[in-house]
Amino acid sequence: MKYEGYLVDLDGTMYSGNTVIDGAIDFIDRLNRNGIPYVFLTNNATKTQQEAAQKLIDMGFDIHPETLYTSAMATAAYLENEQPGARIHVIGSESLKSTLAESGFTLADADVDYVVMGLDREINYDKLSRGALLIAEGAKLISTNPDRKFPTEAGLVPGNGSLVSVLASTTGVEPIVIGKPEGIILEAAVSTLGLPKDRVLLVGDNYDTDIRTGLDNGVHTLHVNTGVTPAEEVKKQERQPEYMIDHLKEWSVK
């Protein structure tokens, strides 16, 4: 089947850490040559749209910043719909904070409506304690993504979902999850392509996030065995992706 648009994951699909995955640049080049639109759909909330795009450009990808859609952007869009101008406490990177501040939200450490948590590589006990206390006072908990682990050049390391689970366990409050596999981020990304979902293919390496996003929300999926979930684990799942390959160079976009 020929697809008219693509949603493409980053970590584990395009690159691992700072290393380009074999066949990834060629895959994007083929989409470009054939005039096929695509959006990079990433659960990574540690970078702004421009920063995420610049990493790809520096690696040799021929892309434009507008092709990036991050869970930080989806979180901002969700909050704009739910409570414009809300007061929020952010546990996460400076880029996540700037994305939310630029969307009109007030960043604060007290009397907040939401605690928003994204991957924080400088997480500590004080940050987790502050978040737990604010939630106990009535703030809603938002997780930019549920990834419990993600691939690096050294191996798999803890993701945002693992850290958010500390707050959920402490407070008994389950987070509102924005990123994959939730439909919130998928619908927003598909709308930027301007295509019906049955003409779009989602490409990713993580069954629990990438593949489930498609399975749960009506988009066909292509699992690439270059990241989090190995083929043998995917094959054990009750629901299977439409396609599975070892490397993107095996996939024809025509």
Residue 205 known to bind ligand: yes
From 235, 233, 192, 238, select the one nearest 215 (Cα to Cα).
238
22 marked ligand binding residue:
no
* CA nearest to 197, candidates 221, 223, 222, 219: 219
Give the residue numbers annotated as catalytic, written as ranges: 9, 11
Cα distances from 216 to residues 175, 213, 221, 241, in angstroms, run 19, 5, 11, 11
Angle at 68 between CA 63 and CA 69, to 5 degrees: 165
CA torsion 195-200-204-210 (nearest 10°) is 70
The position carrying tokens 């880029």 is 95
Binding-site residue set for Mg(2+):
9, 11, 205
Binding-site residue set:
9, 11, 180, 205
Binding-site residue set for substrate:
180
